[in-house]
Amino acid sequence: MSESIELSDNEASAPILPHGGRLVSRVLTGEARADAIGRARDLPGISLNARAISDVECLATGVFSPLEGFMNRADYEGVVHEMRLKNGILWTLPITLAAPQDEVAALKQGGEAALLDSDGELLGLLSVEEIFPYDKRAEACLVYSTEETRHPGVQYLYQRGDLLIGGAISLIRPPSLPGFEDYYCVPADTRRRFKERGWQTIVGFQTRNPIHRSHEYIQKCALELMDGLLIHPLVGRTKLDDVPSEIRLRCYRALEERYFPKERVMLSVFPGAMRYAGPREAVFHALVRKNYGCTHFIVGRDPAGVGGFYHPYAARDLFLRLTRDELDITPLFFDEAFFCRRCDGMASAKTCPHDASERVTLSGTRVRELLRNGEPLPEEFTRPEVSEILAEWMQGV
């Protein structure tokens, strides 16, 4: 059935509570599921794209706790303008369902709609609580800090329908994540596994790129202070030129197996979609990892940024403006790391006194150029196992 998961005494005394104090579950089971499938036959349908499907999954499984569905007007405007839900809880990104006028015409406020995937198959139901217009320009400026359509988040926003549909969702059929089944955990699962391992302090690492030596370095620095590390790569919708998620997972697995202590690291995939909203999305990623049970979250250089739209440490500035009580997960800030030839090891500007010419750094363009030419990436930049996987992939592109 569809409900919020009640926290047991053990869960209530866990290292960290879910955001808002409760872990939402909107997954239908048993008679409630069968009844919903029967009702759906006579309901108007809403076709979902890849991001909306991802959002439905995250709403249903507690990833987006305390949200139970797509935002209504009050929550949407509060988040866009104040980074707060109507009830005052911190939330930095709008989670909304947009549709064109012709699709909305079949909906009835106070009724229900069937949520369909790209093949027209039933995923779940939406309680249509509110239908309202929204200001795309205001959302672009306040959430993404730009109106430029070369920003992928803004481009997506301007291509969406002109009306938003707010209401609670219920999940009938979880979307499949072929190839990721062994690494897929909902928040209730990760929390249970952390408890089984006896972890009291858990640091989360968000990534949408292959892990380079700089990422590995800051992860291990954080792990020196923590009981456990959750490497949590995003496998939802990203930009078309990002490295495919299945290739990235191979890279993460190679690193986990060869360079990390297995008893202190968990690799699990995050089904969310990227917004590329820079500072706001970095905070959002931290809140989501709190729902998964993380007590700390790594904040590096330009997290969730794209194309130079954000200052490299703008996310740090936003985190520092938030109070401990409203955030309730501890950010761990790291400067950009690199391999220094003179130091003969990984370092950052905080620990390395040497000139930039001694530092091994590669632009994305240079990385792609080396891989296309079949040349290995420098071992100071990435592990040879990762370089080999990326080279093999690039040769087949």
Which residues are catalytically annotated? 208-209
Calculate the alpha carbon distances from 206 to 7, 85, 211 in Å. Answer: 26, 24, 10
Angle at 249 between CA 280 and CA 66, to 5 degrees: 35
How far does CA 374 lie from the centroid of its chain? 32
Residue 195: Cβ-neighbour burial (10 angstroms; 0-12, 13-18, 19+): middle
d(CA 186, CA 60): 10
Termini Cα distance of the chain: 44
How many Cα atoms sit within 13 Å of 177 on the Cβ side? 23
Q: Could you tell me if residue 88 is left (phi over 0), alpha (psi between -120 and 50 degrees) or otherwise beta?
A: left
d(CA 377, CA 367): 7
d(CA 86, CA 333): 30
